[in-house]
Amino acid sequence: MEDDQDPPSKAGIDLGPQCPNCGEPWLRPTNLPGRYRCVYCLHRFELTSVCPHCGEHSTIVRMSSTAILKCNACGHSMLQAV
């Protein structure tokens, strides 16, 4: 029962990181580490350790489910479509 399929309809839910595909803040972690899924457009993303934009390595800090999804160097999203 780890299948979170809550539709983005209720108010007061934490707005997560923005989806690189649709731009909506409905990115949610999945039960796989480093994997995210947008519950809005249902695209899946993987958090990479190397920035796809500038190639900078980034340590993945798991402080919360938000933030830390961007490259420290250039601010590009560290998420890649799966």
Residues that bind Zn ion (CB under 5 A): 19, 21-22, 38, 40-41, 51, 53-54, 56, 71, 73-74, 76
Residue appearing with tokens 């933030």: 67
Q: Give whichever of 35 and 53 is closer to Zn ion, judged by the CB atom.
A: 53
Could you report how far apart the first and last alpha carbons of the chain are, in Å? 23
Six token digits for residue 8:
């983005």
Six token digits for residue 74:
């250039």
- In whole angstroms, how close is the CB of 16 to Zn ion at the nearest point? 11
Q: Give whichever of 51 and 69 is closer to Zn ion, judged by the CB atom.
A: 51
Q: Give whichever of 19 and 79 is closer to Zn ion, judged by the CB atom.
A: 19
